[in-house]
Structure 1
Amino acid sequence: MNLLETIKDAFKPLMNGEKPPLQVGEVMNLWFYLTATDQTMRGEEVSYNTAQDPELKEAVKDVLDNVHGPIHKELHDFLRDEGVELPVTTSPKPLEPYKLIPEGAKMTDDEIANLLVFNLTLGIQSACQGLVQSTRADVGMMFSRYQMMKITMSIKMKDLMGRKGWLRVPPPYNKH
């Protein structure tokens, strides 16, 4: 079973070509998702520049290029085309190593990986909220797609974090 195809099939009857105006909840969810994506990308750019592990650098770049970058562009264009005032965003950071930052002032690779996964998890939860609160099929499909993109990346990150010893798991539960 392909989850994305199932979701697409569920929304297909609603996608008859006529789009009602966005409702207030959809605008709010889309607008905040764009704002959060923008801020998350700034943190990922700094993380890329300070990460030491080559695999982690590659994973951060993958998230920027294949998850948050496309989501940001789609949301920006969608809201602009719908006539929604866009949020104020910050400028992208250049992707180049910061050599002059003292060790105690930058995050470790473990911290970068865990923050990346935390942000992906928040994005999954927010996309779920946007999906269930949307009435327009195209908005629901967007949030479904964002959720799947972030779930896929989270699975990749769990593997990397497990191999590197960065995965934080609670202690085993033993009922006495």
Structure 2
Amino acid sequence: MHSEAGINSTTDPELRKAFHEAVKMFKSQRERLTVFLRLEGVPLPPLSESKPISDPNAVPPGVKLTDDEFANSLNIKMFLGITMCATAINESVRNDVGLIWVEFLQEYMTFGATMKTLVKKRGWLKVPPFYYPPGAPIQ
């Protein structure tokens, strides 16, 4: 998991805590979805193994990402999760399936809000440049 790699690569205590919370959330979602699918008789492929715990200081600086890169990649993962959950809710024919995605969506949105606070606090939030329409005076 990318989030486990983040835990193994950062020494920032708040970012490590966020990655631990993300891993806990992802594992919980995976378990709930696995149980549901198995009860419905859906065969599942083998899942990826967890990453072993390692020392963040042992990762060479030229190899590991910076804390802001890790934080923003986790934010991108939250954005994709929110988008995919919303799509799945919209496309779900069964109410029980839709409710699973609603639960996941709520978890992603709650976690995303706490991540946004962290990245703003640390100055890691990537803000796109202002848009000036053609012909508009530049301020």
Calculate the TM-score normalised by the size of structure 1. Answer: 0.72
Q: Which residue of 2 aligns with 1:97?
A: 55
Q: Which residue of 2 aligns with 1:128?
A: 86
Alignment partners' CA distance in 1, 2:128 and 2:113: 18
Q: Which residue of 2 aligns with 1:28?
A: none
Equivalent of residue 41 in structure 2, options 83, 96, 101: 83
Alignment partners' CA distance in 1, 2:87 and 2:125: 26
Q: Which residue of 2 aligns with 1:171?
A: 129
Q: Which residue of 1 aligns with 2:12?
A: 53
| Stretch moving more, 83-92 or 144-153 | 83-92
Q: How many matched pairs?
A: 134
The answer to whether 1:152 aligns with 2:117 is no
Detail structure 1 runs of 4+ shifted over 3 Å in the superposition. Answer: none
Alignment partners' CA distance in 2, 1:128 and 1:60: 23
SS for the counterpart of 2:62 is helix
> For each residue in 1:31-60, what CA deviation from the matched residue of structure 2 results, as whole angstroms up to 9, or x when unmatched?
xxxxxxxxxxx1100111111211000011
Q: Which residue of 2 aligns with 1:113?
A: 71
Alignment partners' CA distance in 2, 1:125 and 1:51: 27
CA RMSD of aligned residues (A): 1.3
Higher relative contact order (CA 8 A, sep 6+): 1
Identity %: 35
The structure that is helix-richer by fraction is 1
